[in-house]
Amino acid sequence: MPPSPSGPAVLVDDRLNGALLSSRFIALRPLEPVLSRWIWAVLNSRAGQARRASLATGTTMASVKMPDLLEMGVPLPPLVEVQRLDGVLASIEAKTHREEEPSESTWWVTADLRLRDDWGIMLATPRPELLEDGEPLGSFVREMKPSRSTRSFEVPTELPGTLPVVDVSVLGGRPTRRWAAPQSTAVTLIAPGDLLISRVGEYSYATVAQRPAVADPGIFVLRLRDQSQGPALAHFLNGREGQTRRRMFLRGKTVPSLRRADIERFPIPAEALEFEGDVDPDVGLADQLEQVLWTA
């Protein structure tokens, strides 16, 4: 458990063998192993996050103390109900993992930077040839809409006639906290099937939109020529190789970001389009668990 009430609880399994636990985190071992995933789900649900937030203390950096956490009530249905939902919770938990990026070895490159306009890429990776490995992402895109700020007319709660504002935190799995009316001419509307990619930050958090929404300036909205390719493109952009390529284009030290031209140039290898998996839900982890735990 992280000290922050908004941080996700992590379920430890064989994939974390050999990992070290930071002294700032709390490790909990349930009396019954069958309850581990249930407790993980409760703590990460929207209701669980709200309960943890109510226990947090501190002004500069709120944190939940171990005695308070251990006193926190956890709803516990009959064991047969826990076992019935375990498969669904296991599927949701499995999608919270990412493959670990292997560390790059030290490399030396000799180049005349006066003759190159992409010297930043030369310094970012020992494999600049990846830029030529694949079809540019722009060739899959019919339209790339510029996102505009919604701050002047958004509301903090959902009202009739409003749509959720999708920003980087929402793409990263956090609940929606902003809504805006779609009638405004200043908004960038998201349609089901659009490919959404984070413009700022080291992670793409790519996903395929499954419902109408409004775009925050921190994301790119890509309307694809062939929407059936959306899940494969999102899967590659979120994967280890996609993240490696993303880092070649990042600019800015304080807040790294991508430009529109970077997205259009982003190379997609042919084998990435062979992915045949389902579209990952574009709903945050807390909301997914909220629906499964309390309405299933």
pLDDT at residue 141, as a whole number: 95
Q: How many Cα atoms sit within 13 Å of 104 on the Cβ side?
A: 13
Dihedral-angle region of residue 134 (phi above 0 means left; psi in -120 to 50 means alpha; beta otherwise): left
The tokens describing 118, both together, are 């992409």
Burial degree of 219 (CB within 10 A; 0-12, 13-18, 19+): buried
Closest CA to 192 of 158, 169, 224: 224
Contact between 63 and 3 under an 8 Å Cβ cutoff? The reply is yes
Residue 236: in which H helix or E strand, if any?
Answer: helix 230-238
pLDDT at residue 19, as a whole number: 80
- Residue with the two structure tokens 């009202």: 159
CA separation for the pair 197, 6 (Å, rounded): 23
- Neighbouring CB atoms inside 10 A of 170's CB total 24
Helix (H), strand (E) counts: the chain: 10, 10
Dihedral-angle region of residue 293 (phi above 0 means left; psi in -120 to 50 means alpha; beta otherwise): alpha
The tokens describing 9, both together, are 């609880």
Q: What angle do CA 161, 214, 190 make, to 5 degrees?
A: 110
pLDDT at residue 296, as a whole number: 56
Residue-wise pLDDT for 193-222, tens only, equals 999 999 998 888 899 998 999 999 999 999
Cite the DSSP H helix spans in 56-167.
66-71, 79-94, 119-124
Residue-wise pLDDT for 149-163, tens only, equals 888 888 988 889 899
Closest CA to 12 of 71, 74, 86, 93: 93
Contact between 187 and 214 under an 8 Å Cβ cutoff? The reply is yes
Residue 268: in which H helix or E strand, if any?
Answer: strand 267-268
CA separation for the pair 223, 203 (Å, rounded): 20
Where the chain has pLDDT below 50, the residues are: 115-116
pLDDT at residue 250, as a whole number: 85
CA separation for the pair 238, 98 (Å, rounded): 8
Name residues whose C-beta falls within 8 Å of residue 284's C-beta, 6 or more positions apart in sequence: 170, 173, 174, 175, 176
pLDDT at residue 172, as a whole number: 82
Contact between 41 and 94 under an 8 Å Cβ cutoff? The reply is no
pLDDT at residue 183, as a whole number: 79
pLDDT at residue 7, as a whole number: 84
pLDDT at residue 102, as a whole number: 56
- Neighbouring CB atoms inside 10 A of 68's CB total 14
pLDDT at residue 145, as a whole number: 80
pLDDT at residue 16, as a whole number: 81
Residue type for 227, please?
Answer: Q
